[in-house]
Structure 1
Amino acid sequence: MNHTPHNQAMHYVHQQVLERLLAHMNQAQRASVQLLMQRLLVIAGGPEHIGNFRTLVLHGADRRSALLLAYLRAAQLSLAVRHHDSFHLRVLVARSPGLDSATLAAHDQCFGALFLHDDPRVELLRADAGQVGPYSARPVARSEQRDAARNAWLLFGHLGGGRPEVLLGARAYLELASVLDQALTAGAGVDALLTVTPPRQRLRLMAWGRRCLRAVTQNAPTALPHGVGVLAEGLMQLHQVLALALHKPTPMTQRAAGNELQVVALEAVLHNLDEGGLLERMLGREEGLPCEVHGPAGLFDPLPLAHARGLYAQYIEQRNYRDGSQAAFQRIVERPLPWPQGQELQQQAQERLLDSYGASQDQLVCQAFAPFAEQGRRLEQFVQRYHPRMRIALPYLHRALQGRPCPGPVVRWLMDISGLDLAQMRALYAGALRPQLGQLVQLLGRRDVALRLLPQAGSALPAWARLAGHAGRWGG
């Protein structure tokens, strides 16, 4: 053990943090920490190996995520006191569609209370626009990466027929898998993924992911991945397939086998994740966040989905915005929450979508109509309801989408209003998209953000997607 003055000072600070942590725990919580330490020692192979044991936890915006992190920190510091060494903890902060300022502030308070920033055994990462980098209150992804993420996200909305439940539904798991794969393989890699996601939910997610892979590969069921690490890699590649929908498909690959990632389920060890008490107060989570939602680790924000659903109700179904948004909000939250009023919801949600993807409300409404598919079947309806001043330009809009000469301002208007490039709009217009892509879009479009089956809405999907079940499969 290195006894430099700096290390001695840090050791003293960590002891104080541990004492403060344990002082804010009740007897049952402290017992859970002891069980957690024993479990991690066994999995690592004993005290002599605990210093080389690398773990990852997905950290969301809910109370359970904060409490799990507190238990892990208490176990990490306790093992260091007892065995002069401890496990490495990699924390991936993620949220779909993105991290808003209130969530980041809550994370900062939690991380500060646990003194995570200056411990070399702790690595804080943040997912942003599909990219993983060091945790920061500033954007992680570069502007061109955010532009690519916005384009892929909006394109998927058009592919799925414009339904918000598709745009902000099961597809989010592919995006989550993409950043999880990056976090698992960064640096020296990870030995174990720590989770308190209930067993039934884990099995459901694994089965759904394997079903998505089976739909677009030629792998026999027995050849499909069983491990979380390999599955995350496969789903990451499906995410890329969607992002590059107009590109020539490349065979799905699998990295050379390494040490198999362990999934360590801790829900049987930690019995008090729903009753934080004083510990919640220490972490700044006694009031909770206004968006604790379905899905593992509170990783999904319901406000943007409620906003997109309200716009869909207003412009497509010609109903009241509030009725549509409120119904969507109440469907996905886990407990009764105060309902944001009127413009407050729209403003908050739109700010989050703008910050996450750079997507404007005009572009959201455009993808809700999905006006370019099937030779522009809904283009006239879109223009009449949302851009009536452009009715005179309808013939030119069709000419632009058909690849025929038309005025430059018409093309620029189409690109601005949709967030897509001209080649993508023309492919949607002509239905010139791979049938295999339709299979994947159809599968994703059947499940909401909690992976619950959505009501059939085949008529909302473009014809190429509805016929995807008859398509062939590309090689894997």
Structure 2
Amino acid sequence: MTETHDQAMHYIYQQVLQRLLEHMTQAQRASVQLLVQRLLVIAGGQEHIGNVRVLALHGVDRRSAHLLACLRAAQLSIAIRHATTFHLRVLAARLPTLDDAALALHDRCFSALFLHDDPRVELLRADGGQLGPFGARQACSAEQLSAAGNAWLLFGHLVGGQPDALLGARGYLDMGTSLAQVLGGQAGEQILISAVPLAQRHRLLAWGRRCLRQTGEVAHSLTPHNVLVAGLEQLGKVLADPWQPPVPPMHQPPCGDPHLMTVEDLLRHPDDSGSLDRMLGRLEMQACQAQGPAGLFDPLPLAHLHGLKTQHLEQRTYREGAQAFYQRLRQPSVPWPHGRVLRDEAQARLLAAYGVSEAQLVCQLFTPFDAQGHNLETFVLRCHPGMRVALPYLHRALQGRPCPEPVSQWLVDTSGLQLTQLRALYAGTLGSQARRLFRLLGQRDLWLRPLPASPYGGYLRLQAAK
């Protein structure tokens, strides 16, 4: 029965490969052959290819889908020629969250490539820094979601409420944590596939090294892979409790030293007819659905934060801020999602990813608690005028002095932070090393490009002078 089943599955995989190659252009088929050769060389020959684990970080962009198609074709080609092949692990990720549309897109792609029932393939998803099997069910528990949301909001307060840093540089740390979990404790040769262009990859590595120096790590002694995985994971731990002294990461992480394989040169197919897109179920996708390297960043929540910032801080309309962000994407053919459609959908994604409310997002944009409540009065008058009479009690609560319990509870509910964290922000007790780290993190967007200093974030501006 087992032999009959294996023969039937072998025939099915042959049909999948044939169908996949038929939908590829000649250039794409040549890329598959080059990919096969590279993998066999890294493995040390066909007799060792069965010990190789290949990890692909899968976004919702077109390049990610084409990369996965090439990997699948390479996997099946090797299996048909040599009986054994590498183990493929696919981490479906989208920051800040995998919404229903992204899940459906991934599912169509995985089904077209016949990945779901292949024992040589493992499909994963990441949520709130936690891993789980790919599917509609979120990978993190309610407690883990709450912890992730608390750390995310705290980061926003400490970097001056910069939307681009909150949904930019912070996302790379979440990504590093997920990658470390996937790679940890796995035997055999591990290969991390990257389709990120060379210039962006160098920017990421340089940024990672600079950040690691702020944790006491000798960054030049680390390999690029450790910077990308173990280093970013360590930075994530520092951010979760920034008032604790940073502990340098291990020089030999348990996952060993994965091989970073770059394949951006294999995905340059200007003559692509779109046949592969049709096979992978991508024809319904809009022109603009993801940004950043590997298409891992969702632009909708970031446009939402810019809309809230324009409305509440700059006292213009929400529409102006969100629309200006979309215009910055330099894709004028992309229609701007109008009205409540954008606002409600973006807020739903942030709620699913971090459990945060719109009021908490507005609060962190103002950063009202740092620098002895530098922006507290402005925040209260603009967003919560009914609390104006309680301003003296708000300061007392943040100073750790006796005050009515409802006042303390209002601070916690409005900010999404713990009272101890609010008091630490108010007192400015963050150490100099951690201040430098957050200042560095707060200066990069989702492309790791420099950001202008926020005129509203008092903490970093005032503390930098100390």
Structure 1 length normalisation: TM-score? 0.93
Find the counterpart in structure 1 of residue 445 from structure 2.
448
Tell me the alpha carbon deviations over residues 133-159 of structure 1, each in whole angstroms, 9 at most, x when there is no partner.
Answer: 221211001111110000000011111
**Higher mean displacement: 257-266 or 18-27:** 257-266
Find the counterpart in structure 2 of residue 379 from structure 1.
376
Gaps of 5+ in 2: none
| Whole-angstrom CA distance in 1 between matches of 2:31 and 2:240 | 43
| Whole-angstrom CA distance in 2 between matches of 1:333 and 1:7 | 50
Is it true that 1:56 corresponds to 2:59 in the alignment? no
Find the counterpart in structure 2 of residue 172 from structure 1.
171
| Whole-angstrom CA distance in 1 between matches of 2:426 and 2:96 | 27
| Whole-angstrom CA distance in 2 between matches of 1:207 and 1:252 | 17
Find the counterpart in structure 2 of residue 125 from structure 1.
124
Residue 446 of structure 1 contacts residue 453 of structure 1 at CA under 8 Å; is this kept in 2?
yes
Tell me the alpha carbon deviations over residues 374-433 of structure 1, each in whole angstroms, 9 at most, x when there is no partner.
Answer: 111111111111111111211211111111111111111111111001001111111112
Shift of 1:335: 6.9
Find the counterpart in structure 1 of residue 195 from structure 2.
196
Residue 439 of structure 1 contacts residue 465 of structure 1 at CA under 8 Å; is this kept in 2?
no
Q: How has the CA–CA distance of structure 1 residues 206 and 218 changed in structure 2, closer, same or farther, with 3 Å as cutoff?
A: closer
Find the counterpart in structure 2 of residue 140 from structure 1.
139
- Please tell me the residue identity of whatever aligns with 2:292: G
- Please tell me the residue identity of whatever aligns with 2:402: P
Find the counterpart in structure 1 of residue 97 from structure 2.
98
Residue 171 of structure 1 contacts residue 444 of structure 1 at CA under 8 Å; is this kept in 2?
yes
Residue 439 of structure 2 contacts residue 460 of structure 2 at CA under 8 Å; is this kept in 1?
no
Tell me the alpha carbon deviations over residues 245-286 of structure 1, each in whole angstroms, 9 at most, x when there is no partner.
Answer: 233443433335875321111122343288361110011112
Residue 290 of structure 2 contacts residue 298 of structure 2 at CA under 8 Å; is this kept in 1?
yes
Q: Indicate the SS of the match to 2:187.
A: coil
**Higher mean displacement: 380-389 or 146-155:** 380-389
| Whole-angstrom CA distance in 2 between matches of 1:159 and 1:46 | 50
Corresponding residue to 2:458 among 452, 462, 470: 462
| Whole-angstrom CA distance in 1 between matches of 2:244 and 2:271 | 46
Residue 62 of structure 1 contacts residue 289 of structure 1 at CA under 8 Å; is this kept in 2?
no
Q: How has the CA–CA distance of structure 1 residues 41 and 317 changed in structure 2, closer, same or farther, with 3 Å as cutoff?
A: same
Shift of 1:4: 2.1
Find the counterpart in structure 1 of residue 64 from structure 2.
65
| Whole-angstrom CA distance in 2 between matches of 1:310 and 1:419 | 20
Corresponding residue to 1:238 among 235, 242, 245: 235
Q: How does 1:239-318 map to 2 (within 5 A)?
A: 239-255=236-252, 259-272=256-269, 275=272, 277-289=274-286, 291-318=288-315
Q: CA RMSD in A?
A: 2.1
- Please tell me the residue identity of whatever aligns with 2:414: I
Find the counterpart in structure 2 of residue 429 from structure 1.
426
| Whole-angstrom CA distance in 2 between matches of 1:210 and 1:235 | 10
| Whole-angstrom CA distance in 2 between matches of 1:273 and 1:99 | 29
| Whole-angstrom CA distance in 2 between matches of 1:321 and 1:461 | 20
Corresponding residue to 1:226 among 223, 227, 249: 223
Find the counterpart in structure 1 of residue 318 from structure 2.
321
Q: Indicate the SS of the match to 1:91.
A: strand
| Whole-angstrom CA distance in 2 between matches of 1:43 and 1:121 | 19
Q: Indicate the SS of the match to 2:265.
A: coil
| Whole-angstrom CA distance in 2 between matches of 1:142 and 1:429 | 31
| Whole-angstrom CA distance in 1 between matches of 2:133 and 2:184 | 14
Is it true that 1:399 corresponds to 2:396 in the alignment? yes
Structure 2 length normalisation: TM-score? 0.95
Shift of 1:94: 1.0
Q: Indicate the SS of the match to 1:424.
A: helix
Find the counterpart in structure 1 of residue 108 from structure 2.
109
Find the counterpart in structure 2 of residue 347 from structure 1.
344
| Whole-angstrom CA distance in 2 between matches of 1:32 and 1:251 | 40
Q: How has the CA–CA distance of structure 1 residues 410 and 259 changed in structure 2, closer, same or farther, with 3 Å as cutoff?
A: closer
**Higher mean displacement: 362-371 or 29-38:** 29-38
**Higher mean displacement: 169-178 or 260-269:** 260-269
Gaps of 5+ in 1: 471-476
- Please tell me the residue identity of whatever aligns with 2:97: G
- Please tell me the residue identity of whatever aligns with 2:50: G
Residue 68 of structure 1 contacts residue 273 of structure 1 at CA under 8 Å; is this kept in 2?
no
Shift of 1:291: 3.9
Residue 185 of structure 2 contacts residue 254 of structure 2 at CA under 8 Å; is this kept in 1?
no
Q: Percent identity?
A: 58
How many residues were matched structurally?
A: 466
**Higher mean displacement: 243-252 or 163-172:** 243-252
**Higher mean displacement: 392-401 or 288-297:** 288-297
Q: Indicate the SS of the match to 1:269.
A: helix
Residue 67 of structure 1 contacts residue 276 of structure 1 at CA under 8 Å; is this kept in 2?
no
**Higher mean displacement: 334-343 or 192-201:** 334-343
Shift of 1:307: 0.4
| Whole-angstrom CA distance in 2 between matches of 1:164 and 1:258 | 33
- Please tell me the residue identity of whatever aligns with 1:78: S
Q: How has the CA–CA distance of structure 1 residues 71 and 335 changed in structure 2, closer, same or farther, with 3 Å as cutoff?
A: farther
Q: How has the CA–CA distance of structure 1 residues 142 and 257 changed in structure 2, closer, same or farther, with 3 Å as cutoff?
A: closer
Find the counterpart in structure 1 of residue 18 from structure 2.
19
Q: Indicate the SS of the match to 2:448.
A: coil
Residue 372 of structure 1 contacts residue 425 of structure 1 at CA under 8 Å; is this kept in 2?
yes
Residue 65 of structure 1 contacts residue 297 of structure 1 at CA under 8 Å; is this kept in 2?
yes
Q: How has the CA–CA distance of structure 1 residues 142 and 188 changed in structure 2, closer, same or farther, with 3 Å as cutoff?
A: farther
| Whole-angstrom CA distance in 1 between matches of 2:49 and 2:10 | 18
Residue 129 of structure 2 contacts residue 148 of structure 2 at CA under 8 Å; is this kept in 1?
yes
Tell me the alpha carbon deviations over residues 316-361 of structure 1, each in whole angstroms, 9 at most, x when there is no partner.
Answer: 1112211111222332466742110011110110010001001100
- Please tell me the residue identity of whatever aligns with 1:339: W
Find the counterpart in structure 2 of residue 388 from structure 1.
385
Q: How has the CA–CA distance of structure 1 residues 155 and 55 changed in structure 2, closer, same or farther, with 3 Å as cutoff?
A: same
Residue 156 of structure 2 contacts residue 166 of structure 2 at CA under 8 Å; is this kept in 1?
yes
Q: How has the CA–CA distance of structure 1 residues 259 and 414 changed in structure 2, closer, same or farther, with 3 Å as cutoff?
A: closer
Shift of 1:196: 1.5
Q: Indicate the SS of the match to 2:55.
A: strand
Shift of 1:64: 0.9
Q: How has the CA–CA distance of structure 1 residues 138 and 295 changed in structure 2, closer, same or farther, with 3 Å as cutoff?
A: same
- Please tell me the residue identity of whatever aligns with 1:10: M
Corresponding residue to 1:364 among 351, 354, 361: 361
| Whole-angstrom CA distance in 1 between matches of 2:140 and 2:439 | 29
Residue 441 of structure 1 contacts residue 465 of structure 1 at CA under 8 Å; is this kept in 2?
no
